[in-house]
Amino acid sequence: MSAEDNVRVVIRCRPLLQDLESGQDLDNDGQTIRVASRQFTFDTIFSMDSTQTDVFTHSAKHIVDCVLQGYNGTIFAYGQTGTGKTFTSSGIMSASFDHIFDHISKSGNDTKFLVRASFYEIYNEEIRDLLVRTELYPNEC
């Protein structure tokens, strides 16, 4: 087991909204962010210039590789509405599926795979899987 197998907390910064820019001093050294007089430390901080591929490769790929070895894996996105969770999560999901199905295509014909995925949203104390079509949201999937 390596340090990569432990829980890690990473964030992805996006540009500040114009009405929040004044008076904010954002200092990012790769693991610590300082906003005004408060300091926050994370395992990794992705800058505003990071790509979906960067985020997947450096934060999620190892989890997907462990899943391909038979372990469970979870990626949890948390933050306020409008901060980019869905954008980043959809990029991670797309790259994860590509990685999984590429692995499957390179496996021998004698190996069988079962692929299951969930994309849960918890909002206003309600939980729903965004990958499951429901009667409330028949056109979403």
Q: CATH number for the domain including 30? A: 3.40.850.10
What pLDDT, in 10s, does the model give residues 47-70? 888 899 999 999 999 999 998 888
105 located within any domain:
yes
138 located within any domain:
no
140 located within any domain:
no
Backbone angles phi, psi at 98, to 5 degrees: -60, -45
- Copy the structure tokens of residue 111: 């190996």
> pLDDT value at position 2?
63
> pLDDT value at position 53?
93
CA angle 6, 80, 14 (to 5 degrees): 80
Q: Which residue range forms the structural domain that includes residue 35?
A: 3-129
Binding-site residues for ATP sit at 79-86
> pLDDT value at position 28?
60
> pLDDT value at position 137?
54
**Which residues have C-beta within 8 Å of that of residue 91, sequence separation ≥ 6?**
52, 55, 56
pLDDT (average), residues 112-127: 85
Three-class SS state of 27: strand
pLDDT band at 18 (very low <50, low <70, confident <90, very high): low
pLDDT band at 17 (very low <50, low <70, confident <90, very high): low
137 located within any domain:
no
Binding-site residues sit at 79-86
Question: What does the alpha-carbon distance between residue 48 and residue 31 come to, in Å, rounded to a whole number?
Answer: 14
139 located within any domain:
no
User: Which pTM was predicted?
Assistant: 0.75
Question: What does the alpha-carbon distance between residue 24 and residue 21 come to, in Å, rounded to a whole number?
Answer: 6
Domain total in the chain:
1
141 located within any domain:
no
134 located within any domain:
no
What pLDDT, in 10s, does the model give residues 76-118? 888 888 888 888 888 999 999 999 999 999 988 888 888 888 8
Residue 26 has pLDDT above 60, yes or no: no
